[in-house]
Chains A and B, each alone.
Chain A
């Protein structure tokens, strides 16, 4: 099948999204007003460590001052990657067509 792998990927993404929706509904239903679900796993691990009384001995030299600026750098990271991937795949494909 020519697009077999593509179909598997799409199916997996749909299942992934469906699990998220169901799980999210369950979490939102039983959490309080101030709690926030879907935090980062990195942060959860950091909390476990801090609960044991550990103080980080070094702070990041620079932190994004707000969530917006943090998402700016994340988007930038994804954009840089995407343009490189798109450029070279387009280049190879175009070259193949010319040949």
Chain B
């Protein structure tokens, strides 16, 4: 989903910086509260960030004959919400922009928006909605993480289509062209990502369910229901 360095003309790269900035600022504010008031949850924050590091470094081949990578943002979004996740995504994207020439500093705003904001908001919304309806927790986590991954790539396609509308057909034609490159490639990867994050979620429930209850991610009743048959 990286838009490469220099590939967004003005005013688009400035616009995406402006849109992303408030999310990052509010994320930093939330992060400060978390660090002060929920110190016990910090290891989980590190794990969520580390997960994005690992998953976004894995470039996997997909059905379309090109390679792409998962984003790993679903876990952070489910645990800490989209704002804090946007800060984590910013760290990953800066690393990749500086050391790997993947993405770029001028396109950072746009990339933060697709990977760190749009995707995580989807994950968070799906997870919250699913948790209320009482669908199986792991199915909810899977859907949240997989659709967040997919939506990140849809967002990248939208960003590119806005900046480069086709001469014939304009925005829509362009969106289809970029969507074919990004979103279609991403479908199998999104499924894998959703499954892997569901698995990690299971392990977190196994070792520290109290943290999830403390973060309001799960209710005690759900924890009991999940752990009940296993114990």
A64 vs B98: C-alpha distance when bound (angstroms) = 9
| Contact in complex: A64, B47 (CB < 8 Å) | no
A70 vs B207: C-alpha distance when bound (angstroms) = 36
- B7 smallest CB distance to A (angstroms): 5
B residues at A contact (CB < 8 Å)? 1-7, 9, 43-44, 46-47, 49-68, 95-102, 104-106, 138, 156, 160, 164, 167, 177-178, 181-182, 185-186, 188, 191-192, 195-196, 198-199, 202-203, 207-208, 230
A85 vs B53: C-alpha distance when bound (angstroms) = 10
A23 vs B60: C-alpha distance when bound (angstroms) = 13
Given pairs A56-B7, A60-B97, A89-B47, 15 additional interface contacts (CB within 8 A):
A12-B192, A42-B1, A42-B3, A42-B68, A45-B3, A45-B160, A49-B164, A56-B6, A62-B98, A63-B101, A81-B50, A82-B54, A85-B50, A85-B54, A89-B207
- In terms of DSSP, what is the predominant structure of the interface of chain B? helix
Q: Please give the number of chain A residues whose Cβ is less than 8 angstroms from any Cβ of chain B in the complex.
A: 54
- B1 smallest CB distance to A (angstroms): 7
A40-B66, A77-B57 known; A58 vs B138 contact (CB < 8 Å): no
A85 vs B203: C-alpha distance when bound (angstroms) = 11
A56 vs B2: C-alpha distance when bound (angstroms) = 14
| Residues in B whose Cβ lies below 8 Å from that of A8 | 195
- In terms of DSSP, what is the predominant structure of the interface of chain A? helix
A38 vs B156: C-alpha distance when bound (angstroms) = 20
| Contact in complex: B101, A45 (CB < 8 Å) | no
| Residues in B whose Cβ lies below 8 Å from that of A78 | 53-54, 57-58
A16-B192, A81-B52, A81-B53 known; A60 vs B5 contact (CB < 8 Å): yes
| Residues in A whose Cβ lies below 8 Å from that of B44 | 88
A5-B198, A12-B195, A58-B5 known; A89 vs B203 contact (CB < 8 Å): yes
Task: Say yes or no: is A48 at the interface (Cβ < 8 Å to chain B).
Answer: yes
| Residues in A whose Cβ lies below 8 Å from that of B64 | 41
| Residues in A whose Cβ lies below 8 Å from that of B66 | 38-41, 43-44
